[in-house]
Structure 1
């Protein structure tokens, strides 16, 4: 039990009083500067806000000019109201928050939510004030602002990530505190994914000495707040350790108030995140709720409709390319154009996947003779210089053009545009329990494995990425993966 702040002393009438002494402000105990937004963060935020304002003004002014040309009316009230609704909805939906700018799909979700809010506000205002001619502003102006703002934000993000990967700049200084093993894992992840922008500069462990993953240990776990005030770290990442009891974590959160540092606590469920994790208060306790992964329901219906509609449209648009590739394959060795192979789909059901043929006709028979040269991870068979691949097939594989016929599988419902890699039946025989969870959803034409290294991934990393998609699937994640797939295919990185 803590000692009282002051000792009671008797007064007239026998009423005891307590002498209240001021509680020292932890943040002022040292003269270290308070961590604050760095210059690059302020510049980046200003660029995002400027681009959003530019997109809004550009689209609204263009809409006014078009309507003046068509109807002869300027609609200045409608234009100003729409612009105001958009520019107010963006900060209200925290679309300009520094915590999401440049990272993950949340930035784009907030942008979309803000524009949806603005559209609803404009529509309701039109109904309230009898301005029923707001349809062009709701269904044209607001969506087009999104179409202009989204690529601008994406380009800014590309510049930011390039600065982090190539030059090691625009990073946030991080203090990691926890068990050496979990801190080491965090350090390795931040180095592998430099685009996140975390740079672990100091570590606190139970011993308080030595180094972890090449980073010097600055102190013990009970000295984290003191070290943060000295070093001005922007992020305090707490990893698992028996030392971290609820009371100590709460005290650490209090001690970090006023330092400008953000406290981040890594949950025990390291591979579960995104929409499945929610914090709620029950009986006065903050509880981390983990909802079950959604394998059915309304969102899956939307995904199904989107997959088939996109596949149908894609097949129509790229039909000349498909015809050209088919002719090249046919003229190369006079063999069949397509290669059909049994793969395992959702719930373990097999289906025939269709691809452009990239190997010689008797490739399956020759495979047994090449098993000793296998370079694939786990149960996969891969060779960087597979002698069975034809000249045309090598080009098709490099840019994943051989997979385009899988759009027919998507159209038929056996595959999805985005999902885990479709495995061979012999691969699934050796699956452990974790790997078998990949079969809970339809396999995809692309997925996290496609945009994270493709054939260069280890087996464990491939399984981890597929499970992450299965557990944390969302429509926004699908959009991000499809966008990144285009980049990965154009570069040809990791394909053979």
Structure 2
């Protein structure tokens, strides 16, 4: 009598045969230390979130006048609901923690939704001081949650540098050029999220460059590399020679070892917020939203610019006065320097800075052009003789750029955006580069936090274009925070 599984074997070669132990492929045993370490870390995050919410809600409840057992129960309900939403929004998902803005954004979203549903419940039931909840409990709780995530991320970074612990140990698979691109990006910007422990080339030979991890040629070696390196994920860097069929086969081959597959999108300048997946009848459709250059998000951005620049100007007024006196005494000439730059839609505007060069700096530029150390058509010179003694110090800590807050308040610039270009730069823009002018230039941006003057021109343009098409309010806040750190520990500023 013929077994039904035998008929499947004969008629459908693609059918996954799991009839008995002899039919199964050999199971690859992988000891993945990052997997267990990551699990313990997420439990620490959960315990921290719970502790913060319990403390904040308890303090809020104890401070309520005329509290009753009913109000205490409602506060407990709010705390439980808050924790549930943090879990439902996957704020501790391994794909989001450790790097990028999404972790912080999800914490904010979960907290805002908690506050919204709490407001609706209080309107219907009452008996709890809603003002206290929304003025104190939720703002303080959100600030504490975000601060705790930032501190944990700092701890992760120290663990990766001191103890070699990472959230994921990955093997990168693909063609030589794709592997090089992905490994370079991960080494520069992934923090403690990913550590490359191996590379498997979809080619017949391994390229001649060395690497501090195993490199193998041919996808048939992948399981051995994963097992020997203890990797818990495989990054497919770009397209493979056998196309989507190769990715499907990789998934089948790695499922026994519970090794995750991560696909690098070919849309390298499109960020996660613009990408949505929608499966239709087994067909995974990737929706890519168009960039948004106006509308409600930009209204929020402008409101944030006005509020923060006004506060910053008021707080920094004594600093402005001190710097003005120092500049005036250091060298003859005006305190401020105004230079014409190109803003949104190609509109020119005067950008203000504290003067950091001698008065005749522009006239002396021609004699120094052959010493240019800048990239492309930008003139940069580390030991520029035109820079004053005070100017060199101000440039190091970006203090000369503080008057640009006036440009932000006027509406010429934004707090975060692409680097404000000169008219001579814009005249040499290629077709794609013109997209930098689709939104307002910024006092700071990705270029400011990634090396500034040390960046090659093509990398600076890439970062600006990436920001223009993928900016978000949460991302802006993170960039401003990183800018403060860069000002304290300058890099690439001269």
For normalisation by structure 2, the TM-score amounts to: 0.90
Give the C-alpha shift of residue 287 in structure 1.
2.2
Partner of residue 16, structure 1: none
Partner of residue 12, structure 1: none
Superposed, 1:77-476 pairs within 5 Å as: 77-131=73-127, 133-165=129-161, 168-170=164-166, 172-193=168-189, 195-207=191-203, 209-211=205-207, 214=211, 215-224=213-222, 227-228=225-226, 231-282=229-280, 284-476=282-474
> CA, structure 1 residues 352+123, in 2 after alignment: closer, same or farther (shift >3 Å)?
same
Q: Which moved more, 1:159-168 or 1:118-127?
A: 159-168
Give the C-alpha shift of residue 232 in structure 1.
4.1
> CA, structure 1 residues 206+99, in 2 after alignment: closer, same or farther (shift >3 Å)?
closer
Partner of residue 51, structure 1: 48
Alpha-carbon distance in structure 2 between the residues aligned to 1:234 and 1:441 = 41
Alpha-carbon distance in structure 1 between the residues aligned to 2:309 and 2:296 = 20
Q: Which moved more, 1:353-362 or 1:452-461?
A: 452-461
Partner of residue 6, structure 1: 6
Do the aligned residues in 2 keep the contact of 1:225 with 1:256 (CA within 8 Å)? yes
Do the aligned residues in 2 keep the contact of 1:355 with 1:405 (CA within 8 Å)? yes
Do the aligned residues in 2 keep the contact of 1:85 with 1:118 (CA within 8 Å)? yes
Alpha-carbon distance in structure 2 between the residues aligned to 1:431 and 1:285 = 40
Do the aligned residues in 2 keep the contact of 1:340 with 1:355 (CA within 8 Å)? yes
Alpha-carbon distance in structure 1 between the residues aligned to 2:448 and 2:281 = 44
Give the C-alpha shift of residue 117 in structure 1.
2.2
Alpha-carbon distance in structure 1 between the residues aligned to 2:214 and 2:181 = 15
Do the aligned residues in 2 keep the contact of 1:293 with 1:472 (CA within 8 Å)? yes
> CA, structure 1 residues 25+447, in 2 after alignment: closer, same or farther (shift >3 Å)?
farther
> CA, structure 1 residues 436+64, in 2 after alignment: closer, same or farther (shift >3 Å)?
same
What SS does the aligned partner of 2:172 have? strand
Partner of residue 486, structure 1: 484
Q: Which moved more, 1:483-492 or 1:161-170?
A: 161-170
Q: Which moved more, 1:412-421 or 1:23-32?
A: 23-32
Unmatched tracts of structure 2, length 5 or more: 9-16
Do the aligned residues in 2 keep the contact of 1:419 with 1:469 (CA within 8 Å)? yes
What SS does the aligned partner of 1:238 have? strand
Give the C-alpha shift of residue 142 in structure 1.
1.8
What SS does the aligned partner of 1:387 have? coil
> CA, structure 1 residues 333+230, in 2 after alignment: closer, same or farther (shift >3 Å)?
closer
> CA, structure 1 residues 72+167, in 2 after alignment: closer, same or farther (shift >3 Å)?
closer
Do the aligned residues in 1 keep the contact of 2:214 with 2:225 (CA within 8 Å)? no
CA deviation vs aligned residue, 1:2-22 (integer Å, no higher than 9, x gap): xx94249xxxxxxxxxxx971
Alpha-carbon RMSD: 2.5
2:42 aligned with 1:40: no
Give the number of aligned pairs.
480
CA deviation vs aligned residue, 1:288-307 (integer Å, no higher than 9, x gap): 22221110111011111111
Alpha-carbon distance in structure 1 between the residues aligned to 2:28 and 2:195 = 24
Do the aligned residues in 2 keep the contact of 1:277 with 1:289 (CA within 8 Å)? yes
Alpha-carbon distance in structure 2 between the residues aligned to 1:321 and 1:130 = 48
What SS does the aligned partner of 1:174 have? strand
Give the C-alpha shift of residue 411 in structure 1.
0.8
Give the C-alpha shift of residue 218 in structure 1.
3.3
Alpha-carbon distance in structure 1 between the residues aligned to 2:301 and 2:269 = 23
What SS does the aligned partner of 1:343 have? strand
Partner of residue 14, structure 2: none
Q: Which moved more, 1:422-431 or 1:283-292?
A: 283-292
Unmatched tracts of structure 1, length 5 or more: 9-19
What SS does the aligned partner of 2:6 have? coil
Give the C-alpha shift of residue 37 in structure 1.
5.0
Alpha-carbon distance in structure 2 between the residues aligned to 1:353 and 1:488 = 22
Partner of residue 64, structure 2: 67
> CA, structure 1 residues 387+328, in 2 after alignment: closer, same or farther (shift >3 Å)?
same
